[in-house]
Amino acid sequence: MNLELRQLIEELRAELADLPDSLAYAEFGEGAAIDAVPAGLPADLRDLLLVADGLRAGRVELASSSTLAGIQYHLDYAPDFSSIPQDRAGWLVVGVRSDEPIFMDRGTGAIWYFPPTGTEWFMSDAFEELAPDVESFVDYYLLGPGYADLTPADDRWFAFLDEQGLLDEDDEDGS
């Protein structure tokens, strides 16, 4: 994980700790101990868990090292048109967006999801890549202007990002 993103996570964690109501909409876990992170995870995900062992930001939650195994059941419900049923071992559920799974392609590290189509995700006919890797996903979609693309309406996390000046597209590197 790049140093800039690591510092941003640490700064936001400290800022949230000073806000008494922040647990209602956000929680950044402390980094996991190396031996607590499950073996065999992609390197980018391992790095994230070592910095923040679980990240809840508004309607998006990335699993902690202790909850990761418990959300893999989503793989069983992936629509047949997606590549997940044909290569279940090649995918990992890394979190949820409003109770809908966020997937990682183990081979490429890319982050994927079922975008809103007016039907439940498991009956969807669309499956799209969100970001080329976990770091880009966290930077743009969890901690930046892309959060608004993932959520149906403004919420407290969106307002927090705005207060922190993190929603300005001009400050982003285009990821």
Average pLDDT over residues 41-67: 95
Q: In 10 A of CB 91, how many CB atoms?
A: 22
Domains, the chain, in order of start with CATH, read 3-167 (3.40.1580.10)
pTM of the model: 0.91
Query: Percentage of the chain surpassing pLDDT 70?
Result: 95
Q: pLDDT digits over 114-128, tens only?
A: 998 888 999 998 999
Residue 173 binned pLDDT confidence (cut-offs 50, 70, 90) = very low
Residues 6+ apart with CB under 8 A from 34: 50
Residue 175 has pLDDT above 60, yes or no: no
Q: pLDDT digits over 75-107, tens only?
A: 999 999 888 999 999 999 999 998 899 999 999
Q: pLDDT digits over 124-147, tens only?
A: 989 999 999 999 999 999 999 999
